[in-house]
Amino acid sequence: MNRWQAIIFDLDDTLYPEHDYVLSGFQAAAHWAEAQFGINSVIGFDYLQTLFRSGVRGDTFNQWLMHFGLLSHHNTPDNAQRLVAQLVEAYRIHEPTLCPFPEVTLYLPKLHQQYRLGLVSDGYLEVQQRKLAALGIAHYLGAVVFSDQWGRTAWKPSTTPFKAVLEQLNVTASEALYIADNPLKDFYGPRQLGMATIWLKHSSGDYTKQEPPSPDYAPDIILNTWAEFKRFLMETTPC
């Protein structure tokens, strides 16, 4: 009998590389801007990539609009906010092109045969739903919980989505293992309930260099690859 009855995954940067979604969204925003402003979408997309790779987060579209002369001292704050909001909307509503990590494609069908699999993910509900649909892996998951269905207050580190996924999978917290990538929020909630937690620390992930803000936020185990995760499961499964 497996020690773990259920394995529950985070989505972004756990089952697929999140930067792929970002780039997919940037392409959608660049195409929208070409139609609206005549900015060549290839050039527009290239500069969005440049901003992202230089570490810009949060005000990417503001800087992009400034670069192309669409924001200036002639713009009113309301007009500037409207332009940014339109780009953000184009980014969020697009249908992304995504692929799981190769190891996910390899291991998920096998894990599906041995464990109850679930998902707990933060983010705007319709955005996360489109991501999962694009990945084509939902049929392996016995429970899918997007925390935004209860609103922003239920996003991690809240315990609310974890209680829901345990109930849907019909397992206790001690029978479940949660795998995620962000030590700033991912592990606190499940640990409060008594779930085991693993930080799958992909080298290309956005949070690889982050540290948990306190011991309560730290994962039980840190692993660097899916191969290490496979060995961990073998070592913790009774003969």
pLDDT, tens only, 61-102: 999 999 998 876 556 667 778 999 999 999 999 999 999 999
Region 32-37: mean pLDDT is 94
Question: What pLDDT shows up at residue 209?
Answer: 87
Question: What pLDDT shows up at residue 75?
Answer: 63
Tell me the percentage of the chain whose pLDDT exceeds 70. 95
Task: Collapse the DSSP code of 16 into the 3-class scheme (helix H, G, I; strand E, B; otherwise coil) and give the result.
Answer: strand
Structure tokens at 186: 């991912």
Give CA separation, 234 vs 175, 230, 239, in Å. Answer: 16, 6, 9
pTM for the model stands at 0.91
Which of 114-123, 150-159, 174-183, 227-236 is predicted with the least confidence, judged by mean pLDDT?
A: 227-236
- Alpha-carbon gap, residue 200 to 178, rounded angstroms: 10
Residue 204 Ramachandran class (φ > 0 left, ψ -120 to 50 alpha, else beta): alpha
Question: What pLDDT shows up at residue 174?
Answer: 96
Region 4-26: mean pLDDT is 96
H-assigned helices in the chain: 18-37, 41-53, 60-67, 77-93, 102-114, 125-135, 160-169, 188-193, 226-235
Question: What pLDDT shows up at residue 195?
Answer: 97
Mean pLDDT of the chain: 93
Q: Given the structure tokens 């489109």, which residue do they identify?
A: 130
Contact 192, 212 (CB under 8 A): no
Question: What pLDDT shows up at residue 2?
Answer: 64
Question: What pLDDT shows up at residue 1?
Answer: 47
- Alpha-carbon gap, residue 34 to 41, rounded angstroms: 5
Give CA separation, 52 vs 20, 72, 104, 126, in Å. Answer: 12, 22, 26, 23
Task: Collapse the DSSP code of 63 into the 3-class scheme (helix H, G, I; strand E, B; otherwise coil) and give the result.
Answer: helix
* Tens-place pLDDT, residues 137-191: 999 999 999 999 999 999 999 999 999 999 999 999 999 999 999 999 999 999 9
Greater pLDDT, 224 or 1: 224
Contact 137, 174 (CB under 8 A): no
The closest of 225, 221, 219 to 236, measured between CA atoms, is 221
